[in-house]
C-alpha cells in the first residue's frame, strides 16, 4: 500500500520502474475518543500522518519528487527544510541512490537533523533562515543557482517550487474521502496546519479530484500568520511576516503558496485560524494523554484550530471533522521534554526506586 495506489491521478505519470516507495500513505484516520466528545463533536477524526516511514506527511511529497528525478536521470537533490521535508527527501534519496544536499533553518530541532544525517544527507544551517523573510528569499535564490545543472534538481515542498512532488500530498484527500466513506460518513471540514501552506493547498486540490467537497481550513501559529488572518479577513493576498513562533516546521516567514491557499480555502468554504504557541503545546499534551497520539507541536496545530472553531460556534457539532496530524512526536525532543515537566520545571512521573518501593507512595 502506498501513494502509488492513486498513480492515475498524478500528471505527468511515472513509469512503474521508476516509482520509489517506502510504504508511505494509507495512514489511519481514527475517531477521537475523548477530546471531541467532551466538546460535543461526535465525529472528530485524526489523520495520522505521523505514521509515515520517516514520520511525517512529507514522505508523500518525497516519494513522488524523487521518482520524477529518477525518471529524468537527476542524480543530485538540492533542498531546503525546517526538518520534515529534509528527513523525507534524505530517506527517499537514500532508497533511490541519489545524492541529497539540504539547507536547513537555523532553529531546526536536533532530532530532525540527526535523522537527515542518518540517511546520509549533507546538511548546513543558515543564519536567520526561517525567521527573516528576506533571508528566506536569498536562500531560495542561492539554491536555484546551485540546482542549475544538468543532473541537479531543487526540491522544496511547495507548489510554487516543486509542483510535481506536491501532487503526492494530494493523496491525503483521496484517503480521507475513502476512509470516511467506509464509515458511511461524508467529510465536512478538514483542518490543516500551515507554514508555507503547501499541505493545505494539496489537501484542497486533492479533494477536487474526488466526489467530496469539504471546507478546508488553514491553521497557523500566531507568530507565523502569513495566510490565516488574511484568509479570515477576506483578503486575496498572503503577506510576509517576521516569524516569532517556536513551532518547528511552521516557521515560514515568506509567502510561498499563500496566495493560492487563500483562493483554494475560500472556494471550499473554509477559513483561517490562528493559535498561540501555548495553546499548541497544551493540545499536543492532551492528544498524547487523552487520545494516545504522540505528535510534534506542528501536528497539534490543526486540532487547536478546530477546538477554537467549535467553541466559537463556527461549525455544526454534528459535522464530520478531520484534523491532519502532520508529524511524529519523535521529531521534536524539546517539546516532549516540556510536556513531561511539572510547571516548576521538574520531571513528572519518573523516579528511581528500590524494587520493594515500586509504585509505593513516597514517605
Residue 352: inside a domain: no
Domain span at 314? 3-56+166-339
In a shared domain, residues 50 and 64:
no
Kindly state whether residue 32 falls inside one of the protein's structural domains. yes
The values of phi and psi at residue 227, to 5°, are -120, -45
What per-residue confidence (pLDDT) applies to 343? 53
Same domain assignment for residues 187 and 211? yes
Q: Is 190 within the bounds of a domain?
A: yes
- SS3 percent helix, strand, coil of the chain, rounded to 5, is 45, 15, 40
Local structure of residue 345 (DSSP, 8 states):
S
Judgement on whether residues 202 and 253 belong to the same structural domain of the protein: yes
Tell me the per-residue pLDDT of 108-163, one tens digit each, with 9 for 90 and over.
Answer: 778 888 999 999 999 999 898 877 778 888 988 899 898 888 899 999 999 999 99
**Domains held by the chain: number:** 2
Report the pLDDT averaged over residues 314-334: 92
- Give the per-residue pLDDT at 238: 97
| Model pLDDT, residue 132 | 79
21 and 52 in one domain?
yes
Per-residue model confidence (pLDDT) at position 311: 94
Q: Average pLDDT of 170-194? A: 97
Residue 248 lies in a domain: yes
Question: What was the pLDDT predicted at 344?
Answer: 53
Residues 284 and 319 grouped into a single domain: yes
Q: What is the pTM of this model?
A: 0.92
pLDDT by residue (tens digit) across 251-290?
A: 887 888 999 999 999 999 999 999 999 999 999 999 999 9
Contact yes or no for 69/98 (Cβ under 8 A): yes
> Mean pLDDT over residues 329-335, rounded?
82
Are 173 and 148 contained in the same domain? no
Confidence of residue 361 (pLDDT cuts 50, 70, 90): confident
Percent of the chain with pLDDT over 90: 76
pLDDT band at 325 (very low <50, low <70, confident <90, very high): very high
Same domain for 250 and 316, yes or no, is: yes
**pLDDT tens string 63-108:** 999 999 999 999 999 998 878 999 999 999 999 999 999 998 887 7
Stretch 190-219: mean pLDDT: 97
Average pLDDT taken over every residue of the chain = 92
Based on the fold, state whether residues 122 and 264 are members of the same structural domain.
no
Q: Is the pLDDT of residue 352 over 80?
A: no
H/E stretch holding 303 reads helix 297-311
d(CA 117, CA 186): 42
Rounded CA-CA distance 310/300 in Å is 16
Question: How high is the pLDDT of residue 348?
Answer: 59
The Cα 36–Cα 315 span in angstroms is: 13
Q: What was the pLDDT predicted at 363?
A: 59
DSSP secondary structure, 26-73, as one string: ---EEE-SSHHHHTT-TEEEEEEGGGSTTSBTHHHHHHHHHHHHHHTT
* pLDDT at residue 355, as a whole number: 84
The 10 Å Cβ neighbour count of residue 30 is 16
**Residue that finishes a domain, picked among 114, 136, 164:** 164
DSSP annotation of 281 reads H
Amino acid at each position: 500500500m502506498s501513494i502509488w495506489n492513486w498513480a492515475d491521478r498524478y500528471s505527468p505519470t511515472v513509469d512503474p520502474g521508476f516509482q520509489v516507495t517506502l510504504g508511505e500513505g494509507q495512514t489511519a484516520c481514527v475517531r477521537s475518543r475523548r477530546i471531541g466528545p467532551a466538546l460535543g463533536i461526535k465525529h472528530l477524526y485524526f489523520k495520522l500522518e505521523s505514521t509515515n516511514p520517516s514520520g511525517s506527511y512529507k514522505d508523500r511529497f518525497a516519494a513522488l519528487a524523487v521518482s520524477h528525478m529518477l525518471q529524468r536521470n537527476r542524480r543530485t537533490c538540492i533542498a531546503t527544510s525546517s526538518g520534515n521535508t529534509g528527513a523525507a527527501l534524505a530517506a527517499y534519496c537514500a532508497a533511490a541512490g541519489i545524492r541529497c544536499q539540504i539547507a536547513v533553518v537555523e532553529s531546526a530541532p536536533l532530532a530532525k537533523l540527526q535523522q537527515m544525517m542518518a540517511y546520509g544527507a549533507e546538511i548546513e544551517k543558515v543564519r536567520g533562515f526561517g525567521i527573516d523573510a528576506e533571508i528566506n528569499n536569498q536562500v531560495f535564490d542561492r539554491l536555484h543557482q546551485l540546482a542549475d545543472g544538468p543532473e541537479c534538481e531543487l526540491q522544496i515542498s511547495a507548489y510554487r517550487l516543486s509542483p510535481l512532488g506536491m501532487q503526492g500530498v494530494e493523496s491525503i484527500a483521496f484517503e480521507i474521502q475513502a476512509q470516511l466513506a467506509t464509515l458511511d460518513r461524508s467529510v465536512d471540514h478538514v483542518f490543516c496546519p500551515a507554514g508555507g501552506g503547501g499541505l493545505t493547498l494539496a489537501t484542497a486540490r486533492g479533494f477536487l479530484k474526488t466526489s467530496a467537497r469539504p471546507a478546508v481550513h488553514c491553521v497557523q501559529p500566531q507568530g507565523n500568520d502569513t495566510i490565516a488572518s488574511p484568509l479570515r479577513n477576506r483578503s486575496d493576498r498572503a503577506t510576509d511576516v517576521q516569524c516569532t513562533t517556536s513551532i518547528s516546521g511552521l516557521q515560514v516567514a515568506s509567502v510561498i503558496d499563500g496566495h493560492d491557499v487563500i483562493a483554494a480555502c475560500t472556494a471550499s468554504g473554509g477559513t483561517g485560524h490562528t493559535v498561540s504557541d501555548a495553546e499548541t503545546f497544551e493540545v499536543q499534551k492532551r492528544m498524547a494523554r487523552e487520545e494516545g497520539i504522540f505528535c510534534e507541536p506542528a501536528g497539534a496545530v490543526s486540532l487547536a484550530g478546530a477546538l477554537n472553531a467549535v467553541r466559537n460556534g463556527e461549525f455544526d457539532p454534528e459535522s464530520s471533522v478531520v484534523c491532519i496530524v502532520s508529524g511524529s512526536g519523535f521529531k521534536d525532543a524539546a517539546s516532549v521534554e516540556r510536556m513531561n515537566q511539572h510547571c516548576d520545571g521538574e520531571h513528572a512521573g519518573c523516579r528511581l526506586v528500590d524494587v520493594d518501593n515500586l509504585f509505593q507512595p513516597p514517605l
